[in-house]
Copies of this chain bind each other. A is one copy, B any other.
Amino acid sequence: MSKQKDTLLRLIAANKGHPSAEELFLECKEKNVKISIATIYRNLNLLVQEGKIAKISLPNEPDRYDSRTDTHIHGVCDRCHAIEDFEIAELDAFLAKQTGLAIHSYDLTLHYTCAKCRKKEALNIYSWL
């Protein structure tokens, strides 16, 4: 595994926020790891194929990458688009039972307003104070 590929894997694992290719590019620069955007995309695709990371698609946004490849849940804030991970242990069984299907895997994204944005909103509401 080349230095560039290894760096990407580490950055994705370290970054809780599910970074995009562009964000990884900037993070590499900050860490003084020399890499081109083409190599980023090439390695991201390789890592996905190898099953070491997963790709996340959302409307009107560049793809993001996730160090977790097991089935889990994404929560995205409708205000700031931050992504968090969630776990619902009983969901697999629940879905299998309700649908009667042999489900290989599933993608679940919850939309809500995150705690930070709720706080901001509350401040704005009372901004005249």
Residues of A with Cβ closer than 8 Å to B?
Answer: 55-60, 63, 75, 78, 86, 88, 90-91, 94-95, 98-99, 101-113
Contact = CB atoms under 8 A, between A and B. Distances in A.
Contact of A110 (B63, B86, B101, B109): B101
Contact of A109 (B59, B60, B91, B107): B107
A8 B98 CA distance: 33
B95 A110 contact: yes
- Stoichiometry, as copies per complex, reads 2
Contacts of A91: 94, 98
Contacts of A88: 95, 98-99
A95 B99 CA distance: 16
Nearest to A86: B99
Given A104-B78, A106-B110, A90 B98 contact: yes
Given A57-B58, A91-B94, A91-B98, 16 more contacts: A55-B60, A56-B59, A57-B57, A75-B99, A78-B104, A86-B99, A90-B98, A95-B110, A99-B110, A101-B110, A101-B112, A103-B111, A104-B113, A107-B107, A107-B109, A108-B109
